[in-house]
Amino acid sequence: MSEKAILEIDGKKFEFPIIRGTENEVSIDIKSLRSATGGVITLDSGFKNTGSCKSAITFLNGEEGVLRYRGYAIEDLAENSNFLEVAYLIIFGNLPSKEQFVKFENDIKSESLLNEEIKNIIDGFPKVAHPMGMLSSLTSALTAFNPVTVDINSEKELYHAVVKILGKFPVLAAWAHSKNKGTPLNYSDNSLDYISNIMQMLFRIPTEKYRLNPITVEALDKLLILHEDHEQNCSTSTVRIVGSSEAGLFASISAGVSALWGRLHGGANQAVIEMLEQIEKDGGDVEKYILKAKDKNDSFRLMGFGHRVYKNFDPRARIIKSYADEVLKDLNINDPALKIAKHLEEVALKDEYFVSRKLYPNVDFYSGIIYRALGIPSEMFTVMFAIGRLPGWIAQWREMRLNHEPIGRPRQLYIGENLRKYTSINNR
């Protein structure tokens, strides 16, 4: 007998099916709510209690600090896998065989050339344009050069769109960075693996031989694994809802880039390092900034702290914090920001304000310290997050389309004026 939830409104009872997930999460299926009750809807600003879909991609348990991609623990994947292999897992559901991985990697490389006319768009940006704004525009512009919308009933077409965006997106990101630096645009080097190629596109200058540092390549590879998916976060939900209107994959991902840019979401990694620099400039007075973060009259927030879902440690933050120590030691870098970050964390996690609100460091709190050690400037931190999150956006878009999810169109509770008559301007 299927489980039911009972809702009572004005003395009338209504039953709704209870659906359990494979990790025993419980949901109430309210798809019949409005028709069964004659128009009653639920209200849940920010969707804090509302599931938008069923998904088999990522499982996270915010209370216990658990994160798994397709059933594999994030700690296991970060330790043993690599970015592109995890991308295959997230998108197609299983770890690839050697042949599948080699084909996937080669198909992506074959798509890493951009249409030369894209340079005209880059020329049109001012040098100081934020790279996230350029990346969102350039990703959307890909539709101009690839106008055919993917037929999702064709596995071949869908696969081709997947490898195309994985091949082109990091080149667009690197070209945005070159625009900011005023250096020549680097092409993809298909003799390199995915992450090494990103490093050479970001940093190579034509007058010098570019030397890859295995420590920085490994650090970036592991860091980006931790960013690959995170179930229905703001930017992924954006990719899904844009795609639900049957907008193309590139247009949907362009929207996801814009959503990620916000400082409450992916933009936080840039805001964290700016905050740490401000505290350092201010003599390292951590207590002063903890007080500011707690002061309701002060708009200052402890960036990189708190999370909508994690009410325990963000497992990614724990891994990144240990990586930060390792990478800085290996690269022989002493970054005062790391010491300030650790001090902030130590003071905050002893403070009732943060403890009672279950505010812990999130994925963005320490990541900027590693990006900076790799020579990546702070305005590019969220672009790196986008490169990391691309496989998740693709996987979620693909799952939504293959499941033939309906177009996303939430309801609202109207609280405006009741009916009133027009009056001419002379009588107002």
Q: Which residues are catalytic?
A: 307, 364
Closer of 178 and 396 to ligand SDX (Cβ): 396
The residues binding ligand SDX (CB under 6 A) are 46, 230, 233, 264-266, 268, 293, 301-309, 357, 359, 362-364
Closer of 114 and 276 to ligand SDX (Cβ): 276
Closer of 142 and 348 to ligand SDX (Cβ): 348
Provide, rounded to whole angstroms, the least separation between the CB of residue 229 and ligand SDX: 8
Provide, rounded to whole angstroms, the least separation between the CB of residue 227 and ligand SDX: 7
Q: Indicate the residue whose CB is closest to ligand SDX.
A: 306
Provide, rounded to whole angstroms, the least separation between the CB of residue 60 and ligand SDX: 8
Provide, rounded to whole angstroms, the least separation between the CB of residue 394 and ligand SDX: 15
Closer of 230 and 240 to ligand SDX (Cβ): 230
Closer of 204 and 265 to ligand SDX (Cβ): 265
Provide, rounded to whole angstroms, the least separation between the CB of residue 363 and ligand SDX: 5
Give the 3-state DSSP-derived string for the chain, with helices as H, strands as E and coil as C: CCCEEEEEECCEEEEEEEEECCCCCEEECCCCHHHHHCCCCCCCHHHCCCCCCCCCCEEEECCCCEEEECCEEHHHHHHHCCHHHHHHHHHHCCCCCHHHHHHHHHHHHCCCCCCCCHHHHHHHCCCCCCHHHHHHHHHHHHHHHCCCCCCCCCHHHHHHHHHHHHHHHHHHHHHHHHHHHCCCCCCCCCCCCHHHHHHHHHHCCCCCCCCCCHHHHHHHHHHHHCCCCCCCCHHHHHHHHHHCCCCCHHHHHHHHHHHHHCCCCCCHHHHHHHHHHHHHHCCCCHHHHHHHHHCCCCCCCCCCECCCCCCCCCHHHHHHHHHHHHHHHHCCCCCHHHHHHHHHHHHHCCCHHHHHCCCCECHHHHHHHHHHHCCCCHHHHHHHHHHHHHHHHHHHHHHHHHCCCCCCCCCCCCCCCCCCCCCCHHHC
